[in-house]
Amino acid sequence: VGVTFVETMEDITCTDCHMSSGEEDTKASMYHGHTWAVFVDEEDGSQTAACTSCHEGMNAAASEGIIKSFQSKTQASLDSAETVFALADSVMQGNADETLKSKLDEAETNLFLVQSDESGGFHNQHFQMALLEDVIQKSNEILRSEERRVGKECRSRWSPYH
């Protein structure tokens, strides 16, 4: 919510990666991609990766390394987003400010979208990172608003003594 859709790999569909038939004379070719697996273990002990059908010169190990890198980066951002969102959610308990409630709802929706993606951050990674950045930004706006509100309360209580 509130984030412009960005594609990591334009014109690539789910079936391009999850139903790739692979190279000739491989299990991946034999299965015609109907395993939904990006990686297929071959009879000779090697592994075939769907990535290699589009990315020439890349092998299964390099493909796996890139996927794990995307997943690691996404997980680190997800951890940060979950932490700051939890803080924002806790300070919003009992807060009636509709603008802040709306920001919290949007942040929660965006967080849910990333949490529910089972790829661990590999499916459309650029968009997932944008969603997480939005969660962090909106949560921080809520926290700053609360800091200002508390600061005003403290100043109003202490002003008669100064």
Structure tokens at 94: 């009992």
More confident of the two residues 49 and 30 = 49
Residue 12 to residues 7, 77, 84: CA-CA distances in angstroms? 9, 24, 33
The pTM of this model reads: 0.80
More confident of the two residues 160 and 71 = 71
**Tally of helices (H runs) and strands (E runs) in the chain:** 5, 2
**Three-state SS sequence of 3-55:** CCCCCCCCCCCHHHHHCCCCCCCCHHHHHCCCCCCCEEECCCCCEEEHHHHCC
Considering only 2-6, 53-57, 74-78, 93-97, which range has the smallest mean pLDDT?
A: 53-57
Instruction: Tell me the per-residue pLDDT of 90-104, one tens digit each, with 9 for 90 and over.
Output: 999 999 999 999 999
Quote the CA–CA distance of 45 and 90 in Å, as a whole number: 51
Tell me which DSSP letter residue 145 carries: H
